[in-house]
Structure 1
Amino acid sequence: MHRSPVVDAESFDRILSSMCTEPHPAAREAAERFLASNPGDPATYEEIAELETRAIDLLAGIVDHPDPRTADGYITSGGTEANVQAVRAARNRSDSDDPNVVAPESAHFSFTKAAELLDVELRTVPLDSNLRADTDAVSAAVDADTALVVGVAGSTEYGRVDPIPELSAIADDAGARMHVDAAWGGFVLPFTEHDWSFADAPIDTLTVDPHKFGRAVVPAGGLIARDSTTLDALAVETPYLETYSQATLTGTRSGAGVASAVAVMEELWPDGYRETARRCQRNADWLASELASRGYEVVAPTLPLVASSIPESTIEELRAAGWKISRTARGEVRVVCMPHVTREQLEAFLRDLDRI
């Protein structure tokens, strides 16, 4: 019988635009142990259910939940699922027959998916001159039917952090819930001065992904809620299981993501993450300076992400040289200085840029 050859894992040597990274060895080991465990059936798979509780406790601490004992949530397949669930919970708790969600133009495309899936109107508002949500525009967009206001803490194109306390105040005045998408930024922001977490504003739900800067295996996202009312709004009956309800979007889930998230957070929080975040920020600041010195326009990095106006023809030649790079909607190259991205890699990238 013919057998397909074993394919080596993707090398991260030239990946510069991905928001995923090489998993930590502890995450890999834990993931392999729990590949066949199903957190969606917690009464049968008790050990992985206990690990998921531990994962939520750890994430609640990372995002400064005011009382980890009341924090609720679960390990999702990623930021998209967490964002969809935040919209779903807000819709389910809304009194409106025609609910809407107000989000900045920088919001992840998962909110477009959520709006289509859940038959909710998505109102996107412009950004200010700093590429953050324009609070005046948000105020103008909300109304009595607004179920959810969205803020982004680490936007995917420019790494910007929206004014979360101000957005939360707008949501509160409108009687809406507040959601923060910190899928990418959540493991970097604790080591900055930004206001973004449960400690900084009365937010209701927050997305934070261990499989990004957290260095867990893919898939391992996270949805953290202020209290159990969010998951109560998501729960459906599961009459044929030993447990009688389920709040997750998917049913059967691999325990790999759950176990890997716990293993790596226990290994790296907080000192390992702090060191990594600061190293990645130094790399981003250095790259921005180097690109600017070559005459390219650069969006100054807030978090470890650099966007620069490199011509399209040059981008294509860089891709032909093997660099995995993507562009913003405006056409800039975006380089995400993830944990796997080293100064040596960035120097090699610049050498190819100079040669081209």
Structure 2
Amino acid sequence: MQRAAPQEFSRVLSSMCTEPHPAARDAAERFLATNPGDPETYQEVARLERRAVETLGEIADLSDPHGYVTSGGTEANVQAVRSARNRLRVEDPNVVVPESAHFSFTKAADVLGVELRRVPTDDDHRADVDAADAAVDDDTVLVVGVAGSTEFGRVDPIPELAAVAHDAGAFLHVDAAWGGFYLPFTDHEWSFAHAPVDSMTIDPHKSGRAAVPAGGVLFRERAGLDALAVDTPYLESTSQATLTGTRSGAGVAAAAAAMDALWPDGYRREYERVAELATWFAAELRERGFETADVDLPLVAASISEPVFERLREEGWRISRTESGELRVVCMPHVTREMLTAFLADVEAVHAAGPEACSLSGDVGDAR
């Protein structure tokens, strides 16, 4: 039988995961068999997890972070909802999220038995603060803001959403799963230092270049993490706050190694590269007649017809659409100008193939 090989990233434009940093790959292999779910038994990987959490706190401007390395953003978001529900203990808990929120909040609501209240975004795909304010009530346990949305790369007005949450007696959670490793090098207000954020999702296995799986959840207060703890009587450790229990130490070690190697200067250089790349790519699409949303974080959303989209997929490009139908290209560390130049050449070739494959109709809100 032929030995299976992992897919190359040479035509992957839709993913928010990327090639791990060499140091992260090496660390993941070395710690593959350890279990940070039992930190008293596996003490070295537990030490690495503490170091990873400390660095995540530094990236997110939280001097005394409480949290752990999750399996990804979904687990982190579920845990943020669970912590808020457990801490406030209202009869009919609800969570208020913008319509741009990740689908993991739908999973969280289903699993945890809380009501999910989705509120509109504005014309620039950011959370509508007035709508969030109208949606909260005495049973709201959590308000969510997104810092780097998965469809348009937008950053919600986090300080204003924090005020809405706290005025209602609820907590404020920021989903910065993808954006968290880019945002420190921007002027956005998104971090624990910019607003009284209570919890945050921030994933090393996305732009942080750790090996998958390596997400992250942070809490401002120890009580946020303690609200998740359960007794573990048969382990050397007496309690556990994680959701998955047994975890491979590969993700923890990879996260610590990647951040040791890249924070802050390596991440700053990479952000500057992909920000310039996304701006260039959006301009190239506009020159070819495609309506393209303004670029904020390095994600490009553009109108493109269904025939062109499907033909590009047939050419092997791994691309996706937003819920409203725009082409979505994420400029991750593996994405280069050469890749995007090849993609544009295929766009032109498909477009030249005939009228049935070259409609440029579409709408991206405030596209220019």
TM-score class, shorter: over 0.9
Q: Deviations over 1:178-223 (max 9, x none)?
A: 0000000000000000000000000110000000000000000000
**Alignment-derived partner of residue 152 in structure 2:** 158
AA in 1 matched with 2:98 = P
AA in 2 matched with 1:313 = P
Matched, 1:115 2:104: no
For structure 2, which runs of at least 5 residues remain unmatched after alignment?
351-368
Q: Matched residues in 2 for 1:236 and 1:5: separation? A: 45
Matched, 1:196 2:190: yes
How far residue 255 of structure 1 moved from its aligned partner, in angstroms, is: 0.2
Q: Matched residues in 1 for 2:233 and 2:114: separation? A: 29
Q: Matched residues in 2 for 1:262 and 1:330: separation? A: 37
Q: Deviations over 1:70-115 (max 9, x none)?
A: x100000000000000000000011311010000000000000000
**Alignment-derived partner of residue 51 in structure 1:** 48
**Alignment-derived partner of residue 218 in structure 2:** 224
When normalised by structure 2's length, the TM-score is 0.94
Residue correspondences, number: 350
Within 5 Å, which residues of 2 pair with 1:281-300?
281-300=275-294
Q: Secondary structure at the match of 2:274?
A: helix
How far residue 129 of structure 1 moved from its aligned partner, in angstroms, is: 1.2
**Alignment-derived partner of residue 93 in structure 2:** 99
Matched, 1:334 2:328: yes
Runs of 4+ in 1 over 3 A off after TM superposition: none
**Alignment-derived partner of residue 366 in structure 2:** none
Q: Secondary structure at the match of 1:302?
A: coil
Q: Matched residues in 1 for 2:262 and 2:323: separation? A: 34
Q: CA RMSD in A?
A: 0.6
Q: Secondary structure at the match of 1:206?
A: strand
Matched, 1:310 2:304: yes
Within 5 Å, which residues of 2 pair with 1:1-356?
4-65=1-62, 67-68=63-64, 71-356=65-350
Q: Matched residues in 2 for 1:322 and 1:301: separation? A: 25
For structure 1, which runs of at least 5 residues remain unmatched after alignment?
none
Q: Deviations over 1:249-295 (max 9, x none)?
A: 01110000000000010000011000001100111000110111111
How far residue 231 of structure 1 moved from its aligned partner, in angstroms, is: 1.2
AA in 2 matched with 1:325 = I
How far residue 244 of structure 1 moved from its aligned partner, in angstroms, is: 1.0
When normalised by structure 1's length, the TM-score is 0.98
Q: Matched residues in 2 for 1:308 and 1:129: separation? A: 15
How far residue 9 of structure 1 moved from its aligned partner, in angstroms, is: 2.0
